[in-house]
Structure formats: structure tokens, C-alpha cells
Amino acid sequence: MPPPALTIGEALTEASARLVGLADGSPRLEAELLLGEVTGFDRARLLAWPDAALDTAARRRLDGLVERRSLGEPIAYILARQGFWTLDLVVTPDTLIPRPETELLVELALARLPAEAPLLIADLGTGSGAIAAALAAERPAWTLIATDRSLAALGVASANARRLGLANLHPLAGDWLAALAPGALDAIISNPPYIPAGDPHLDRGDLRREPASALAAGPDGLEAIRRIAATAAAHLRPGGLLALEHGYDQGGLVRGLLAEAGLTRIETLRDLAGHERTSLAWREPGGMQGSQIAPWNSSTPPLA
């Protein structure tokens, strides 16, 4: 027997009730997003037509999506997309879900680097390509190299670059800076994993379903940041910028690592919640110039 007919308003109420109690998200908002996926209606149309009928096929599909979400699957993976900066990005379980606090990296790069200069910038551990895509879209004069050791993640980043028409974004397989030649970069931007392995937050909410390699980095969460900081100066041109996202309680430790690496003008920026979230530092001007160096090692050409 088919399920009884529902109106859009009734379907939203029912779906919202089934989503109460999840660790992440807003039940009503997520119900609207899932119903919008089923019907093709935007949120304004859903709210404007609460008495419109929802046909049987749409109701069954909505039931399936709500069931997936109620079992803890992140809504970004269910919808296969996530908003970041001004972009709508494809995301999959092979990539971290882009989050608003990471937009601070985009903001500081846009503010600190010359807009019209032909800069070469690496986004390390790019995942879906969110940071690189946002910078490439805002700064056509810049060239973005988006690296990741996960070929599955690079496939997502490549698909986003093609879909958004970002010819200045080049995905490249490699572990952090290993695929990039010394002295070639004007800036290095990264949101690396920084949660300590074994942290209880990894077993809660959406984090349970996201790639562990994109979240956790050793006993203190700083393993990836140590590797990047230790090799950044050698890969930056004189006057180049390094900017890293990190945990809310890691600012002091990260500043120490940047200083140990010989970088200068170190500072930490706070996110909208007031937490230390992003630290940046510079390679001092002078010394070897890298303008004639190929940006990637010949053994690891960029993906098409």
C-alpha cells in the first residue's frame, strides 16, 4: 500500500521530527534542504507553498534521504555539494566537508597578496579543492596548484575546477610539498589535519564519516603542520607567505614551529567565534630567486 499523501508543510514537519537529536545541524533547515533536493524547489518556494501536494514518488525519495541523515550520514554527502566562499562545490566521502572557518584562509590570502601579480600558490591537502577554487575564482592572475596524496580527492578537486571553469587551478598528486620544486612558490596555503588521534570528537557527528586522514595528525594533532612548516621556507620564494589553519588551542605551538623553521612576521588570526584559528608567516626577502624553477617535479606532472 502506498504511503498516504502529504502536503509540503506536513512533509517538512515530519522530516524535521525525524532529524531531532543529531549531533550536527538544524533539523528544520536540513529537512528543507532534503525536500528541496527531492522536489527541485528552493527554500522560498517550499515555504510559500506549504499546502502543495507531495506525490508518492517524491515522498518515498524524501523518506530515503531522511533515513540516511538520521543514521548520521552528513547532509553534504547526501546532497553531494557544499557551499564555500561564493562557490557551490561537489563533495564526496573522499573529501573533507569545507567549513566556514576555513574561509579565513581565503580572506587573509586575498588581503595580504597582490591581486594582479602572476603569483604561483599551492593549496596543500586540497580535498575538494575548496581553498584553491575560491582563490582561483577571485584572482584570475594567480595560478593555483592543488596538491593531495589522495587520488580520489584530487578527482573531486579536478571536477570542481572544470565545472567552475577555473583554468588557473591545477590539481597535482603529492604528499604536502613533496611534489613541488624548491623555491618556486609565492605562497603556501593549507588546512591540514590537526585533531589529535584518539580525540573523542572524531567519534561524534559528521566527523565520524569524514576521511580520518584529513582530520587527525598524530598524538598531538601537529604532525602534518610540523612537516609543512619544516619544508615551507625551502619551497617559498623570498618574501613568500605560509598560512595554516589549526586547532583553537594550537596557536602558540604553531607559532613556535613557524619560528623554529626560520620564518618571520608570524601572527595568528581569530575566527568569528574568537578562537585562534589561522597562523601565517613569511620567508624574508633576499637570497635565491625561484622565478626560473619549474613549479612541480618532473616526475609528478599536474592532473588534467
- Residue 7 φ/ψ, nearest 5 degrees: -85, 165
Those residues with Cβ within 8 angstroms of residue 209's Cβ, 6 or more apart along the chain or in another chain? 72, 73, 74, 77, 93
pLDDT at 111 over 90: yes
Q: Specify whether the CB–CB gap between 183 and 234 falls below 8 A.
A: yes
Those residues with Cβ within 8 angstroms of residue 81's Cβ, 6 or more apart along the chain or in another chain? 88, 89, 90, 91
Examine residue 182 and state whether it is found in any structural domain, yes or no.
yes
Examine residue 58 and state whether it is found in any structural domain, yes or no.
yes
User: Do residue 224 and residue 183 come from a single domain?
Assistant: yes
Examine residue 236 and state whether it is found in any structural domain, yes or no.
yes
Write down the pTM of the prediction. 0.88
Instruction: Please give the C-alpha separations between residue 128 and each of 66, 94, 146, 148, 183, in angstroms, as whole numbers.
Output: 24, 8, 10, 10, 26
Predicted confidence at residue 204, as pLDDT, reads 87
Examine residue 299 and state whether it is found in any structural domain, yes or no.
no
Examine residue 132 and state whether it is found in any structural domain, yes or no.
yes
How many whole angstroms separate alpha carbon 104 and alpha carbon 287?
Answer: 30
Give the residue from 24, 48, 72 where a domain finishes.
72
Host domain of residue 25:
6-72
User: Do residue 263 and residue 147 come from a single domain?
Assistant: yes
Predicted confidence at residue 5, as pLDDT, reads 72
pLDDT at 73 over 60: yes
Mean residue pLDDT of the chain comes to 90
User: Do residue 145 and residue 112 come from a single domain?
Assistant: yes
User: Do residue 57 and residue 154 come from a single domain?
Assistant: no
Tell me: the pLDDT tens digits for 10-66?
A: 999 999 999 998 766 689 999 999 999 999 998 899 989 889 999 889 999 999 999
Distance of CA 31 to the CA centre of its chain: 24
Examine residue 66 and state whether it is found in any structural domain, yes or no.
yes
| % of the chain surpassing 70 pLDDT | 91
User: Do residue 60 and residue 106 come from a single domain?
Assistant: no
User: Do residue 127 and residue 171 come from a single domain?
Assistant: yes
pLDDT at 159 over 80: yes
User: Do residue 33 and residue 64 come from a single domain?
Assistant: yes
- Residue 87 φ/ψ, nearest 5 degrees: -110, 155
Residue 258: give its domain's CATH number.
Answer: 3.40.50.150
pLDDT at 139 over 50: yes
Give the residue from 44, 72, 100 where a domain finishes.
72
Distance of CA 273 to the CA centre of its chain: 18
Rg of the chain, C-alpha, whole Å = 21
Residue 52: give its domain's CATH number.
Answer: 1.10.8.10
User: Do residue 160 and residue 206 come from a single domain?
Assistant: yes
How many whole angstroms separate alpha carbon 135 and alpha carbon 144?
Answer: 8
- Per the structure, the count of domains in the chain is 2
Examine residue 97 and state whether it is found in any structural domain, yes or no.
yes
pLDDT at 298 over 90: no
User: Do residue 90 and residue 56 come from a single domain?
Assistant: no
Examine residue 289 and state whether it is found in any structural domain, yes or no.
no
User: Do residue 52 and residue 121 come from a single domain?
Assistant: no
User: Do residue 66 and residue 123 come from a single domain?
Assistant: no
